[in-house]
Structure formats: C-alpha cells, structure tokens
Amino acid sequence: MKKLQSLFIGILVIILILFLGVHQLEKASGMAGADTLTIYNWGDYIDPDLLRKFEKESGYKVNYETFDSNEAMFTKIQQGGTAYDITIPSEYMIQKMMKEKMLLPIDHKKLKGLENIDERFLNLDFDPQNKYSIPYFWGTLGIIYNDKFIGKDEIKHWDDLWKPELKDNVMLIDGAREVLGLSLNSLGYSLNSKNNQELRAATDKLNKLTTNVKAIVADEIKMYMINEESAVAVTFSGEAAEMLTSNEHLHYVIPAEGSNLWFDNIVIPKTAKNIKGSYDFINFMLRPENAAQNAEYIGYSTPNKIAEKLLPEEISSDEQFYPNDEVIKHLEVYEDLGAKYLGIYNDLFLEFKMYRK
C-alpha cells in the first residue's frame, strides 16, 4: 500500500511540475491569456510611452516582439508557437494572410473611433470594407538627397539616379519590390508588373545603375545620410522624416512619374488568445490624441484625420509626408504577386546585386 501511495504521490508531483512548466512556457510565449496582450510589430514602430499608457489604462501586461520584414512575420505566425493578439503587416501581406485564412474578421460593432480614419484610407482594394484590418500608418517610397552634394531641385525623377555625376554616391534600400519597382516606374511600367519583358527591361536598366550604387542597405541608410556619407538614397518617407530632423541639408522627393504608396494596418491573427484585449488596443490607437502622439514620435503619416489636425503645422502641412491628392493618384500600392512572381522579383534583384560585384 505504501508503495502505491508513493507512486500516486510521485505521479501528482510530475503532473504539477508539467503543469507549471506549460504555464511558464505559455507565459514566455505570450499565451498567458486574458491578462496579457501580445503584440508583434516592426521595430521602433510605436511610441513606448503609449504602450505604458495602454498598460496603465487597460490593466493588461503587454508582451511586445518585433520583426524586420513582412515575410519574417508571416512565417513565424504561420508556424505557430506564439499566439500573437495583434500584428501590423503591410497591404500586400494582408492580402496574402487573408488568402491563407490566417486572420480573424474585424467585428466593426466592437470598434470605437473608426470614423476618425480618413475615408481615403478605408475600403481599399487589398481589404474591401476593412473586413480584416484597421489603418495604422501610411507613407511613400522616394529619394532623399543632400544639397551640399547636389543642387536643390536637381532630383525630381527616378531617372536622376542614373546621372553620371552621382557615381558611387547612391544608396539603395535592400528590397526587391522597392528596387525593381523604381526601375519599372522609371520606364513607365507598373511596380506590380507580371510582364516578363518589362521585368527584363527593368533589370537591364538597373544593371546600368551599378556604377552609381555605393551600397544596398536597410536601416543603415539613416545613419549614412545623416552623417553625409552619401549624396542620394532611396528610402521610405518616415525614415526620411527622421533624417531631415537631424540634418538640414537633406530633402525628400516623391518622383512625379510614380512610386509606392504603402499602408500598414492592424490585424488580429487567427491564433490570438486575448480577443477582447486586441479590440481594446485597436480602439486605444484609434483615439486621436494617441494616434497623433504616435505619428509625431515615429515620423510616418497618420491615416487618422482628427489626429492629423492635432499635429504641429510644420508636420501636417509638409507635402513631402502628407502629399496632396494630385501626387497620390500617381502612386501605386503593392499587390500580392503570388509565389511565382515574388520568386521572379527576388531572383532578378539577386541578379542585379551580383552584377554589381
């Protein structure tokens, strides 16, 4: 009997240890449930003070993790493991996640403040009726240049990147869609082209840019341009805004012939555990004072029309970052190309990078 009792007690101890281990694992993985909200976002893409404010107001503990590309975010959520309650993908990735049935539909009855969003940024092609996503930030892809090295107004078009006087003085962002897209736009083609002849022509033209390319980098562009280590760079508007505040000789241009208009939206992954917390966070970020604080801290453009009015006039009136409708109508949103053509874009971009060597 004593042996049976010892065995029974031993089994209970093992069960207790396993239970505590699973609980700790879930807690570490952001799966602790109703008291925790797990957010998966781009690096440095929210004012940390807002996270603290949300925690204080809501009573939730926020687990905040970051990713550096839409593709990395997609893969991690698809593989499972961490139950993210909120993530913030770009428009073409939202399309892909919808197709893969990775998102929960948004219950608009639970939203407070959607009317604050500018109608121009609602009901877009990548998510009609905003069934799965709520606007967070938007912006453009353009050219930043230093007037100490190149005259004002001498950079207006993508073709200007090919000027001989810019030899070894152009920095490109490390992205296939961005670099192939600017070359496609310079030729008058769509940056979502699936025409093999157009893609070949864009790559051939890029190969002629190699003598001007100093480097193909990512976040380092900010430091290089602020420190005046290059004359020109291709970058996103929010990154450019940060650079401009640090160096008065820098200027941002959206090429007149067209460029990328991008949107990052809040979504709720299908594996989310804290659904109520997800809506509480969305509604928190829809409040104009919070959206304005976030926009001023990050530098990207807010889609919240009430928040825009709360921003300093030098920000909200700056058409480099809040372009008018005439400029916007020449811009394109990235579409989900599908696996085949995404692979083609990546291969052609790799060819270009290897051609440089």
Q: How far apart are the C-alpha atoms of 33 and 26, rounded to whole Å?
A: 9
DSSP summary character for residue 50: H
Residue of 331, 328, 327, 296 lying closest to 311 (CA atoms): 296
Sheet containing 86-87, strands listed edge to edge, beginning at the edge strand earlier in sequence:
61-67, 36-42, 86-87
Burial readout 261-296 (b: 16 or more C-beta within 10 A, e: otherwise)? bbbbbbbbbebbbbeebbbbbbbbbbbbebbbbbbe
pLDDT over threshold 70, residue 270: yes
Tokens of 54: 């949300």
Q: How far apart are the C-alpha atoms of 45 and 215, rounded to whole Å?
A: 25
pLDDT tens, 150-181? Answer: 998 899 999 999 999 999 999 999 999 999 99
Tokens of 44: 């440095």
* Range with the poorest average pLDDT among 14-28, 105-119, 190-204: 14-28
pLDDT over threshold 80, residue 6: no
Per the DSSP assignment, residues forming a β-bridge with 337 are: none
Q: 29-137+263-321, which class in CATH?
A: alpha beta
Q: How many CA atoms lie within 13 A of 143 on its CB side?
A: 29
Q: Where are the domains of the chain?
A: 29-137+263-321, 139-261+332-356
pLDDT at residue 22, rounded to an integer: 45
How many whole angstroms from its chain centre is CA 355? 28
Mean predicted lDDT score pLDDT of the chain = 91
How many secondary structure helices (H) and strands (E) does the chain include? 14, 9
pLDDT tens, 122-156? Answer: 999 999 999 999 999 999 999 999 999 999 889 99
pLDDT at residue 311, rounded to an integer: 97
Q: How far apart are the C-alpha atoms of 195 and 345, rounded to whole Å?
A: 11
List residues forming the annotated binding site: 92
pLDDT at residue 18, rounded to an integer: 54
DSSP summary character for residue 284: H
- In the predicted model, what is the mean pLDDT of residues 53-73? 95
Residue that the structure tokens 């599908």 belong to = 338
**List of residues 6+ apart from 173 with CB closer than 8 A:** 141, 179, 216, 217, 218, 221, 233, 234, 235, 236
Q: How many other β-carbons are positioned within 10 Å of the β-carbon of residue 145?
A: 26
CB-neighbour burial class of residue 252 (10 A; exposed 0-12, middle 13-18, buried 19+) = buried
pLDDT over threshold 80, residue 208: yes
pLDDT at residue 152, rounded to an integer: 85
Q: Model's pTM, two decimal places?
A: 0.83
pLDDT-based confidence at residue 81 (cuts at 50, 70, 90): confident
pLDDT-based confidence at residue 218 (cuts at 50, 70, 90): confident
pLDDT at residue 97, rounded to an integer: 97
Same fold, 29-137+263-321 and 139-261+332-356: yes
**Distance set, CA 216 to CA 104, 224, 277, 316 (Å):** 37, 12, 40, 31
How many whole angstroms from its chain centre is CA 234? 16
Q: Tell me which fold the domain 139-261+332-356 belongs to.
A: D-Maltodextrin-Binding Protein; domain 2 (3.40.190)
* Backbone torsions φ then ψ of 153, nearest 5 degrees: 70, 10
Q: How far apart are the C-alpha atoms of 197 and 354, rounded to whole Å?
A: 20
pLDDT tens, 312-337? Answer: 999 999 998 999 889 998 899 999 99
Q: β-strands 61-67, 232-236: how paired? A: unpaired
Q: How many other β-carbons are positioned within 10 Å of the β-carbon of residue 244?
A: 20
List residues forming the annotated binding site for spermidine: 92
Q: Which residue has the higher pLDDT, 324 or 269?
A: 269
